[in-house]
Structure 1
């Protein structure tokens, strides 16, 4: 009886050691997978940062060619954003502290493009 209990105790200890070993291996595999995903995400973030930097440089070049100052470009961007979100001219003028006629003048190139697109879509 004593030998049986001793044998069972030894088997239990061996199974416990084996279980800890397998658990450690599984943890290492999971850690490798986490590291791989982390590296992939970091590479994607680096690529996106590079693309954003390139777009910023291209934007700066285009704005210099167009002869717009930073303030004018920012105003155009805000106006176009409000226009695309279907704000009324009066609301845009109030938000940006401009005259409605000035807002219409600044949005004229974008409004005509949108109307032309609707005509073509409605003609067919």
Structure 2
């Protein structure tokens, strides 16, 4: 009877120690998952900013000194982004609530002889 109690006591201590290691592993996994999600969000935000900078550079290069207001610049950026992603002129016009002729006028300086000047990201 004494041996059974000693064996059960040793097994209980072993299980207690094992539970501490399991808890630490779970906490580390959760921390790693949170870090991974945070990193992915930052990467997506950086990609969005890079895309806007690239579009701004294309706008600046095409305009060669022509000044636009910040609202016009934002509209051109949005139109070029949608065009770059393959949206049709009609769908771009609907999304930005502008006439199709205006969208074509905004895109025209960035398109040469049927090919896009704006590069795909």
Indicate the TM-score class for this superposition, using the shorter chain for normalisation.
0.5 to 0.7
**Number of residue equivalences:** 109
Flag the 1:14–1:33 CA change in 2: closer, same or farther, 3 A: same
Higher RCO, 1 or 2 (CA under 8 Å, sep at least 6)? 2
Structure 2: give runs of 5+ residues left out of the alignment.
117-121
d(CA) in 2 for partners of 1:50 and 1:103? 27
* 2:2 aligned residue (2, 6, 14): 6
C-alpha deviation, 1:23, in angstroms: 2.0
What aligned pairs does 1:27-106 form with structure 2 within 5 A after superposition?
27-32=23-28, 34-35=30-31, 37=32, 40-41=35-36, 44=39, 48=43, 51=46, 67-83=67-83, 84-89=85-90, 91-106=91-106
* 1:23 aligned residue (14, 19, 35): 19
Larger radius of gyration, structure 1 or 2? Answer: 1
Structure 1: give runs of 5+ residues left out of the alignment.
118-124
Contact 2:89/2:104 (8 A) holds in 1: no
d(CA) in 2 for partners of 1:9 and 1:77? 76
